[in-house]
Amino acid sequence: MSINFFRPVFANDNGIFGVGTVSADKLTLNANGTLIEAEETSGDRYFLLKTNSTYIYELGDIDEGGDGATIKGTSSNILMVNANVGIGTTSPDYTLDVAGNAGFNEYLYHNGDSDTYIRFLDNNIYLTAGSGGALQATSSITYLQAFHEFHSDGDAMIGDHIGINGGLSVRVNNAASNVTVSSSAGSDFLYVDASKSYFQNKVGIGTTVPSARLQVRNNSNSTTAFKVTGSSSTNDVWFEITPNSSTVFVLGDEEQSSGGGYIKLDSNANITFNEANVGINTTSPTSGTKLDVNGAVKASEFYGQSMFINWRAYHSTTSIRTLYNTGMTSAFPYAYGVVGTLFKGCVSKVNVSNNPYSSYTSGPTGNSATLQVYKNGSLLQSVTSSYSNNAGEVVVFDFGQTATFNASDRLAFRFQANGLWRYVNVGILLKELI
C-alpha cells in the first residue's frame, strides 16, 4: 500500500514512511525549519528537531517555563544548560558529577585561561598555572618545574635551579648527605656536609670540598671573605678577613665606634696593635705604656732603642789633637776609649764641645775637625766638620745611618783638628736599626 498526497507524505508496505520525499529510508523528514516539535498543552516545548538553525535539536525545558535543564545540540557540540550532569549517579551535586572513574587523553583546561591546565602523559602529571612553571610528578620525581623538585629518594631542589630568572637555589642531596646553595650559573657558594643531624663534619662556603670544620673559599681577589659587624647603622667592623688585599685581617674596633683597640695584619706580614695598650700575661697593662710584659722578655734584637755615651777628655799640652786618655797627638794613634755594642745599629752623631776653665778661657783654634769611627780595629767611616772659635764651641759629626755595627762589635773614636782644643766633652749617640 502506498499513499501519496501530492508527494507531501509517503508510506509503503515495507514500513517506510516519508514526509516531503518519495525516497524515504525507514523514516525520513524532508523540510526546512522545524521537523518535529513536542509541547505541553500550556505551550511549553520539550523537544525540537530542526534544520537551518543554530541548534539542531533541543531536549528538556526549552522555554524554561519550569526553569529546568536543557540539552542542546549544534553541528559540533552538545550543550547542557541549567543542569548538573551526573554520570553514574541520579543526584549530581556539581555541574559534572562522576560517580566512578574518568579518563582523559592529555589536557584538562581552565576555561578562558589557556596556560592553566592539568596535563596527563605516560607516567607524568603536570599542573600548570600561567607561565611561571608547573608542578610535575613522575614515578621518581615531584617538582615545581624550574623552581622546585622533590625526589622520591629524599633529594630536593628549591629555587631557580635551572636558571630561568637568574636566581638562587638550594639543593638537599639525601644520598650524599649534603646541602648546597648555588647561583643560577651553577656556582656553589654554600656547601654543608650534613651527614649528621648537626654540623658534626664540615661546612663549606664557596666550596663543595671543605677540608676543615668551616672553610670559606673566596672566589675573587681583594674581596672580603668573612666579616662580623656591630649592631649600629654604620656596620662597624669587629672582625674581617680579606685575602689578597693590603689589609688581610682585622680584629677589634677598627672604626673606633666604641673607642677600643684593634689588631691588623697587612699583606706584608706586619701585625699592628692600634689604639691600644698591649698586655702580655696581664689583663690590665699599665696606663701610658704601649707594651706591658709581666715576665721575662727574650729577643735577638730590640729595635728603636738608643744609647748615649758621654765622657770628658783633657789634654796635657796644647799640641796634642787626638782623643786619648793621656792627652792628644797629631797622628790619630789611639782612641780615647772603646765602646762595646749591645745591639745592631749605627753611630748617629758625635758632638765634641770645648770646655773653658779658669786658666784657659778661650775657644779652640783652627776651623776644621775630623772624627774617625773604628769597628773591631778597622776604620769604618770618618766625617769632617767645620767649627768656630767660641769658648763653648761645639763641633757636630753627623753620620746618618751609614756607620753601622752589629751587636758585640767594638767601636773606637778618634778626633783630630787643625787647631788646638783643651778640655772637651764627647757625646756619642748610637741608634738601633732593623
Distance between CA atoms of 335 and 376, rounded to whole angstroms? Answer: 12
203-211 average pLDDT score: 79
For the entire predicted model, the pTM comes to 0.38
Distance between CA atoms of 281 and 291, rounded to whole angstroms? Answer: 11
φ/ψ of residue 144, rounded to 5: -85, 115
> Residues 111-139: pLDDT tens digits?
888 888 888 888 878 777 776 556 666 66
211-219 average pLDDT score: 76
pLDDT of residue 4: 47
- The segment(s) of the chain belonging to CATH 2.60.40 are 306-432
Distance between CA atoms of 7 and 31, rounded to whole angstroms? Answer: 13
25-46 average pLDDT score: 67
Q: What is the dihedral sign for C-alpha 184, 187, 190, 191?
A: positive
Distant-in-sequence contacts of 405-409, Cβ < 8 A, 24+ apart: 405/341, 405/344, 405/345, 405/346, 405/347, 405/375, 405/380, 406/341, 406/344, 407/301, 407/341, 407/342, 407/343, 407/344, 408/340, 408/341, 408/342, 409/340, 409/341, 409/375, 409/376
pLDDT of residue 61: 76
419-432 average pLDDT score: 84
pLDDT of residue 319: 40
How sure is the predictor about 398, in pLDDT bands with cuts at 50, 70 and 90? very high
pLDDT of residue 109: 84
User: Is the model's pLDDT at 244 over the cut of 50?
Assistant: yes
Q: Where are the beta strands (DSSP E) in 9-83?
A: 9-11, 17-19, 27-29, 34-39, 45-50, 57-60, 70-73, 78-81
Q: Which range has the worst mean pLDDT, 75-84, 126-135, 158-167, 243-252?
A: 158-167
Amino acid at 214: L
Per 3-state DSSP, the chain is made up of helix, strand and coil in percentages (nearest 5) of: 0, 45, 55
> Residues 316-356: pLDDT tens digits?
444 434 343 333 444 444 445 678 888 889 999 999 888 87
pLDDT of residue 429: 93
26-50 average pLDDT score: 68
Distance between CA atoms of 17 and 36, rounded to whole angstroms? Answer: 15
* CATH architecture designation of domain 306-432: Sandwich (2.60)
Distance of CA 275 to the CA centre of its chain: 29
Residue 285 has what DSSP assignment?
A: P
Q: Which range has the worst mean pLDDT, 49-63, 171-185, 281-295?
A: 171-185
pLDDT of residue 172: 74
Q: Which of 68-77, 242-251, 311-320 has the highest mean pLDDT?
A: 68-77
User: Is the model's pLDDT at 196 over the cut of 70?
Assistant: no
Q: Which residue has the higher pLDDT, 63 or 286?
A: 286
Distance between CA atoms of 266 and 284, rounded to whole angstroms? Answer: 27
